[in-house]
Structure 1
């Protein structure tokens, strides 16, 4: 029996099979990469006001997402979460001792340590984004990690793993979303 896919007796069939396996592996890898919660965009200019969104691509093993909590890394100031219709936003803060000097002669006496969206439901079969505007630190070359706890109707996922020095973000099991602080002109407002 002649199997067209395998190309009996021809090297071309083997190449087709190898190409198909490579394509399937590439699609599987791509799907796995999109299964994590990510910050998009994930690079901003040092000292700038930066807007990003946490992309939530799925729930927990088929269960809808009902809450999302993100911790803010040290050095991030002036955090404002996106208001999402149907969701309640809680903002956790801590005092700064000593306070920092802000722009236009202001004083920053406290910083946001975490933001949580809750009170609604994001089905597993759909995705959504949860936006944050923040002031990035002045120091370029840093990678800031934003550990996320995703709570679902049934279960939860902790996207809190931070790669070790020299380790790839994709090498950790449940990587925290990140933003790279790049050099560039900072925005005044």
Structure 2
């Protein structure tokens, strides 16, 4: 019977770690090639101390360009745009104003359920760079701010409210 105890503890530990990781606002795909088009899926695993989520705000860094959110039944969408200090080229068109925040409002995501919020965007930046998407979850009572950015060398899982992140990789060249 004793050999089963370490296996049972390992299984329980794995379950606790996976539930803790799921508890954060997180991106389904955590890496993408620099310059690529990216489908972002932000997972929201719970409400705010038991309260239902009614609004989700995703703040985009400048390297996340030309973002388009996917509509969700029962939720309204708002795109907050800002004038850019430095325009960029998007397939021959100079873009001088871009989406800096995606907002889903009017929903009622119970603490007993999880959901996914989807968008597409082009990822500018350099390979090795990490892009952080500050995510604010507003609930019927309170809010959760997934905005903490780890210090160099710090494990983001050590933070109570880490911002969802995408690490840029080398672009793959097809011949």
- The TM-score bracket by the shorter chain reads over 0.9
Q: For residue 19 of structure 1, report the CA deviation from its aligned partner.
A: 2.8
Do the aligned partners of residues 186 and 124 (structure 1) sit closer, same or farther apart at CA in structure 2, a change above 3 Å counting?
farther
Asked whether 1:63 is paired with 2:29, we answer: no
Query: Match for residue 75 of structure 1?
Result: 63
Residue of 94, 98, 105 corresponding to 2:82: 94
Q: For residue 138 of structure 1, report the CA deviation from its aligned partner.
A: 4.4
Asked whether 1:135 is paired with 2:111, we answer: no
Do the aligned partners of residues 178 and 100 (structure 1) sit closer, same or farther apart at CA in structure 2, a change above 3 Å counting?
same
Point out where structure 2 has 5 or more consecutive residues left out of the alignment. Answer: none
Q: Distance in 2 between matches of 1:69 and 1:186?
A: 34
Q: Distance in 2 between matches of 1:44 and 1:30?
A: 23
Asked whether 1:170 is paired with 2:157, we answer: yes
Partner of 1:74: helix, strand, or coil? coil
Q: For residue 23 of structure 1, report the CA deviation from its aligned partner.
A: 2.2
Query: Match for residue 26 of structure 1?
Result: 14
Partner of 1:52: helix, strand, or coil? strand
Q: CA RMSD in A?
A: 1.7
Q: Distance in 2 between matches of 1:87 and 1:155?
A: 19
Point out where structure 1 has 5 or more consecutive residues left out of the alignment. Answer: 1-6, 8-12
Residue of 3, 24, 27 corresponding to 1:39: 27
Q: For residue 148 of structure 1, report the CA deviation from its aligned partner.
A: 0.6
8 Å contact kept, 1:48–1:185: no
Do the aligned partners of residues 48 and 106 (structure 1) sit closer, same or farther apart at CA in structure 2, a change above 3 Å counting?
same
TM-score, with structure 1 as normaliser: 0.86
Structure with the largest fraction of strand: 2
Q: Which moved more, 1:19-28 or 1:141-150?
A: 19-28
Residue of 110, 135, 150 corresponding to 2:97: 110
Q: Across the two proteins, how many residue pairs are aligned to each other?
A: 174
Partner of 2:41: helix, strand, or coil? strand
Partner of 1:34: helix, strand, or coil? helix
8 Å contact kept, 1:49–1:186: no
TM-score, with structure 2 as normaliser: 0.92
